[in-house]
Amino acid sequence: MSGSNGIVVSGLRREFRGGIKAVQGIDLEVAPGEIYGFLGPNGAGKSTTVLMLTTLLPPTGGSATVAGFDVAGQGAQVRRVIGAALQEAALDNYLTAHEHFELQAGLHGMARKQRRARAVELLERVGLTDAADRKIGGYSGGMRRRLDLALALVHRPRVLFLDEPTTGLDPQSRSALWEEVGRLAGDEGVTVFLTTQYLEEADVLADRVGIIDRGRIVAEGTPNALKAAIGQSSVEAVPADPRDRERLADVLSRFGEPASASPKGVAVRLGGGTEELVDVVRALDAAELSVAGLQVHEPSLDDVFLAKTGRSLEGAGDQPAAEERAAVPA
Ligand SMILES: Nc1ncnc2c1ncn2[C@@H]1O[C@H](COP(=O)(O)OP(=O)(O)O)[C@@H](O)[C@H]1O
Ligand SMILES: [Mg+2]
């Protein structure tokens, strides 16, 4: 896919002084227009990977191309076609949103005439029109993230890197950002490489997910394929009449092995996935069993993480939350 808007990473490594192996040889490919979710706990190596792919940190091994350009040997070309909103947003509290756009557009060599119109368009798109002439010192976290995203888009990048774009945001700001990212990829064909610690974000937003832990990719695929590989969806039924519990267990046992259930219910693993649910309902009906509740438990990406690492993603970080790295300009 060289020359296109994809990302190809091969054996990429980054070791820091003192022997810290932040990224230990990762391989991945992101197709043009795809949203790739790079999911992992604190300290997994997400930001280090993004810094290498955006040419801000040289790899100590392996290689990567972005839109066909080598991140090590063709930095200038890479930087021309990418946009990045990094974890350490390089925003200045004493400047307004418009002043930030002036700077950013200047950096990208945009003609003065086009700058204002592009800024107006992007500020509108991220809902900051009313705040555009205020110093951003008074912005909320969500407004800063939105401004940072808008700034990353100023030169119409073909590949967009977002490092934990929604960490610390309230649910509304989070879903607004998801919507905008989805639109960029879907309508404009922008390739998006997004890191996150949030299972739901990867699940909802990403076409494909790479799960990174301790510098290695432990699983990769579409969210559905990853969850299906774990194969643990189960169905639980609670009988309307507690005396029917045995009979209910009997009927359900035709569909799979027993699974853990609430005290009043009976659960089995669904061998054939959730499509089997219809058959379960029919079988219950045929046995004239009435149920007070019927629930499917789908495997989550956390189950995937657990299966691959033996730990739960929530609280799996080996790092304090505070990032110590100095800010790097995008
Ligand atoms: N500049 C650096 N010097 C030394 N160690 C670093 C540096 N940057 C990151 N690390 C270490 O590399 C590992 C991965 O960090 P990072 O890529 O920031 O993870 P994530 O973004 O997934 O939280 C961590 O153990 C972190 O402490
Ligand atoms: Mg990080």
How many angstroms is it from 88 CA to the middle of ligand 1?
A: 13
Are 213 and 301 spatial neighbours (Cβ–Cβ below 8 Å)?
no
Does any ligand 1 atom lie closer than 6 A to the CB of residue 321?
Answer: no
Mention every residue, 6+ apart, whose C-beta is less than 8 A from residue 273. 228, 233
If one counts every other C-beta atom within 10 angstroms of the C-beta of residue 119, the result is: 23
Find, among 151, 162, 52, 43, the residue nearest to 106 by Cα: 151
CA atoms within 13 A on the CB side of 307: 15
Residue 262 confidence (pLDDT): 86
Residue 315 confidence (pLDDT): 67
Model pTM above 0.95:
no
How many angstroms is it from 92 CA to the middle of ligand 2?
A: 21
* Beta bridge pairs of residue 18: none
Q: What is the mean pLDDT, run by run of 10 residues, along the chain of 330 residues?
A: 80 96 98 96 96 97 98 96 88 95 91 92 94 95 91 96 92 90 94 95 96 96 89 87 94 89 89 79 94 88 87 67 38
The CATH code of domain 233-298 reads 3.30.70
Are 321 and 253 spatial neighbours (Cβ–Cβ below 8 Å)?
no
Residue 320 confidence (pLDDT): 40
Same fold yes or no, 7-227 and 233-298 = no
Does any ligand 1 atom lie closer than 6 A to the CB of residue 16?
Answer: yes
Q: Which atom of ligand 1 is nearest to the CA of 50?
A: 17
If one counts every other C-beta atom within 10 angstroms of the C-beta of residue 329, the result is: 11
CATH 3.40.50.300 fits 7-227, yes or no: yes
Does any ligand 1 atom lie closer than 6 A to the CB of residue 46?
Answer: yes
Q: What are phi and psi of 96, to 5 degrees?
A: -85, 170
- Could you state, in order of their start, the residue ranges of all structural domains in the chain? 7-227, 233-298
Pocket of ligand 1, candidates 194, 309, 319, 324: which has the most ligand atoms within 8 Å of its Cβ, to mutate? 319
- CA angle in degrees (0–180, nearest 5) for 11-14-17: 150
Return the residue whose CA atom lies nearest to atom 27 of ligand 1. 43
